[in-house]
C-alpha cells in the first residue's frame, strides 16, 4: 500500500479492521481441544446469535462467504430441487451459478440491478407454484455489487401470503452488523454471512444461522455434504468446541468485534451507516452524478455505487484515486464493469473517515477530467452536521 498516511480501504468489504480486533488476533494460537478454548468458542457462538438475532443454531465455518452459500444449499436441498432466486446484481448471480453447479435447478426473477428484490414478484411466482416445486427462495439482503437492499420482512410476508412452504434463505454477507437484520423475527430459515464486512474482521470465517424448519429439512436433504454439515457442528458446539480445527485466531478477533458492536449498540451502528449512506448520496447528487440504486427505499447504508458519465471509465478513475490519494474504491462488476465505482462505508467507520473518502472522490473526479460539479463534499458535510445537531438536541432533552 503505497503512500504515506493511512490507506483508505473504501471497498465494500473487506473493511478497515479496528486495531482492537487485529490485536486480539495477534496472540498465540491455543489448543482448540483444551479447556481454555471452550470459553472462546462459546462466546463466539453465543455472540453471533445476538448479532443474527436468533435463538436458533448458528454455525461458524473456517471459509469465505461463498462457502456459507454452499453450506446453506447442501444442508437443505436434494439433487434437482428447484430454487427461486432474485437477480439483484452480481452476487445474486454468483449464488445462482453455485446452485446450478451443485446440481440444483434454479429460476431467476430478473432485475435491472438498480433495486432490491420485489416481494410482490416473489409472491406472484410462489402462488403460481401450485405443485410446490420450489424448495427455497434465495434473496441477497444487501447486494454488494449495486448498493441495493432487499426488504426481507416483506419477502417473508409474500411467502406467507402465498402460503408456500419454501425455505427463505438470505445472504447478509455485506449487511450483517451494518444494517438492521432479524433472523428470527423476520422468519428467515437460513442466513448466510461472512466475517470481513460489518463484523470488521479479515476474511476467513463464514456463518449460517439456521431455523428449526431448515434443520428439519437437513434431515432429508440428499446433496452430499461433509465439511459444511450443520449436524456435525451441533454436538461439539454445545460445549464450545468444533468437529474439526477452527480458525482459532479469527475467533479471537470475532469475540472482540462482537464486544465492540455491543459496546456501541447495534441500533447506533445501524443509524451510523444509514447516516453515512445518506451523506454519500447527497454528495453524489451534488456532483451531478447518479447513484446506481434508483429506488430510494432500497438505497444502502453499506455502500454507494456511483454511475460514471457516459464515456468515462470508472476503472481509470479508481486508478487515479488509488495512486494519488491512497484510497481503494470498489469496481463495477460484470454488467456494470467500468461503468460504476463503489464507495464502501461499512464496518469500523466514522464521519471524518467518510469526509476523507468523499474528498478523495471529488479530487479524483477533478484529476480524472470527469465532468462534475464541485461541492459534493460540502453537501455531505452539511448533511452530517445536521445529523450531529439532531443527536446533540436529542441528548439534551
Q: Of 19-58, which residues contact its own copies (CB under 8 A)?
A: 19, 22-23, 25-36
Out of 17, 84, 307, 340, point to the residue binding its own copies (CB under 8 A): 17
Interacting positions 76-95 with its own copies (CB under 8 A): 79
Nearer to its own copies, 227 or 312 (CB): 227
CB of 127 to its own copies, least distance (A): 31
CB of 112 to its own copies, least distance (A): 24
Nearer to its own copies, 7 or 182 (CB): 7
The site for its own copies, by CB under 8 A, has a size of 99
**Do residues 107 and 133 lie in contact, with contact meaning Cβ atoms separated by under 8 Å?**
no
Nearest to 264 by CA among 319, 182, 200: 200
Asked whether position 382 contacts its own copies by CB under 8 A, the answer is yes
Asked whether position 177 contacts its own copies by CB under 8 A, the answer is no
Asked whether position 60 contacts its own copies by CB under 8 A, the answer is no
CB of 156 to its own copies, least distance (A): 27
331 three-state secondary structure? strand
Out of 49, 78, 105, 249, point to the residue binding its own copies (CB under 8 A): 249
Nearer to its own copies, 153 or 355 (CB): 355
Nearer to its own copies, 62 or 288 (CB): 62
Residue spans of beta strands (DSSP E) within 172-312: 190-194, 205-210, 290-291, 303-307
Identify which range of 135-143, 180-188, 301-309, 326-334 contacts its own copies by CB under 8 A.
326-334
What does the alpha-carbon distance between residue 206 and residue 218 come to, in Å, rounded to a whole number? 19
Nearer to its own copies, 74 or 149 (CB): 74
Interacting positions 120-159 with its own copies (CB under 8 A): none
Asked whether position 6 contacts its own copies by CB under 8 A, the answer is yes
Terminal Cα-to-Cα distance of the chain (whole angstroms): 46
CB of 99 to its own copies, least distance (A): 9
Backbone angles phi, psi at 9, to 5 degrees: -90, 80
CB of 227 to its own copies, least distance (A): 5
Asked whether position 372 contacts its own copies by CB under 8 A, the answer is no
Asked whether position 163 contacts its own copies by CB under 8 A, the answer is no
Backbone angles phi, psi at 114, to 5 degrees: -120, 15
Nearest to 245 by CA among 72, 37, 389, 92: 37
What does the alpha-carbon distance between residue 329 and residue 315 come to, in Å, rounded to a whole number? 9
Interacting positions 102-121 with its own copies (CB under 8 A): 102-103
What does the alpha-carbon distance between residue 305 and residue 330 come to, in Å, rounded to a whole number? 8
What does the alpha-carbon distance between residue 99 and residue 143 come to, in Å, rounded to a whole number? 18
Radius of gyration (Cα) for the chain, nearest Å?
21
Looking up cell 456511483 gives 306
Out of 41, 47, 56, 67, point to the residue binding its own copies (CB under 8 A): 67
Interacting positions 197-236 with its own copies (CB under 8 A): 202-204, 223-227, 229
Q: Treating both helix axes as pointing N-terminal to C-terminal, what angle do 266-286 and 351-368 enclose, rounded to 10 degrees?
A: 20
Give the angle 352-357-358 at the CA atoms, nearest 5°.
Answer: 100
306 three-state secondary structure? strand
Asked whether position 277 contacts its own copies by CB under 8 A, the answer is no
Amino acid at each position: 500500500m503505497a503512500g504515506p498516511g493511512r490507506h483508505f480501504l473504501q471497498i465494500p468489504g473487506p473493511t478497515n479492521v479496528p486495531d482492537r480486533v487485529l490485536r486480539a488476533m495477534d496472540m498465540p494460537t491455543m489448543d482448540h481441544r483444551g479447556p481454555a478454548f471452550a470459553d472462546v468458542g462459546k462466546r463466539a457462538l453465543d455472540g453471533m446469535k445476538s448479532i443474527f438475532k436468533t435463538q436458533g443454531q448458528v454455525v461458524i465455518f473456517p471459509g469465505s462467504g461463498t462457502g456459507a452459500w454452499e453450506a446453506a444449499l447442501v444442508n437443505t436441498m436434494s439433487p434437482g430441487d428447484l430454487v427461486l432466486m432474485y437477480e439483484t446484481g452480481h452476487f445474486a448471480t454468483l449464488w445462482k451459478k453455485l446452485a446450478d453447479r451443485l446440481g440444483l435447478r434454479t429460476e431467476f426473477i430478473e432485475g435491472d440491478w438498480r433495486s432490491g428484490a420485489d416481494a410482490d414478484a416473489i409472491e406472484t411466482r410462489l402462488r403460481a407454484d401450485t405443485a410446490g416445486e420450489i424448495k427455497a427462495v434465495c434473496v441477497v439482503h444487501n447486494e454488494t455489487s449495486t448498493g441495493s437492499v432487499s426488504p426481507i420482512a416483506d419477502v417473508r410476508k409474500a411467502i406467507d401470503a402465498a402460503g408456500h412452504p419454501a425455505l427463505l434463505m438470505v445472504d447478509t454477507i455485506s449487511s450483517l452488523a451494518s444494517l438492521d437484520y432479524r433472523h428470527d423475527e423476520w422468519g428467515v430459515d437460513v442466513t448466510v454471512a461472512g466475517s470481513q464486512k460489518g463484523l470488521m474482521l479479515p476474511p476467513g470465517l463464514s456463518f449460517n444461522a439456521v431455523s428449526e424448519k431448515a434443520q428439519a429439512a437437513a434431515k432429508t436433504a440428499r446433496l452430499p455434504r461433509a465439511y459444511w454439515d450443520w449436524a456435525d457442528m451441533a454436538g461439539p458446539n454445545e460445549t464450545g468446541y468444533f468437529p474439526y480445527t477452527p480458525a482459532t485466531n479469527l475467533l479471537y478477533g470475532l469475540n472482540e468485534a462482537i464486544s465492540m458492536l455491543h459496546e456501541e449498540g447495534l441500533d447506533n451502528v445501524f443509524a451510523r451507516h444509514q447516516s453515512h449512506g445518506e451523506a454519500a448520496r447527497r454528495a453524489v447528487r451534488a456532483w451531478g452524478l447518479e447513484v446506481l440504486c434508483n429506488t430510494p427505499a432500497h438505497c444502502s447504508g453499506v455502500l454507494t455505487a456511483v454511475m460514471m458519465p457516459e464515456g468515462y471509465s470508472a476503472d481509470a478513475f479508481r486508478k487515479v484515486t488509488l495512486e494519488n490519494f491512497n484510497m481503494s474504491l470498489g469496481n463495477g462488476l460484470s454488467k456494470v464493469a467500468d461503468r460504476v465505482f463503489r464507495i464502501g462505508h461499512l464496518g469500523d467507520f466514522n464521519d471524518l473517515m467518510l469526509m476523507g473518502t468523499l474528498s478523495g472522490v471529488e479530487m479524483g473526479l477533478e484529476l480524472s477530467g470527469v465532468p462534475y460539479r464541485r461541492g459534493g463534499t460540502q453537501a455531505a458535510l452539511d448533511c452530517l452536521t445536521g445529523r450531529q445537531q439532531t443527536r446533540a438536541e436529542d441528548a439534551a432533552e
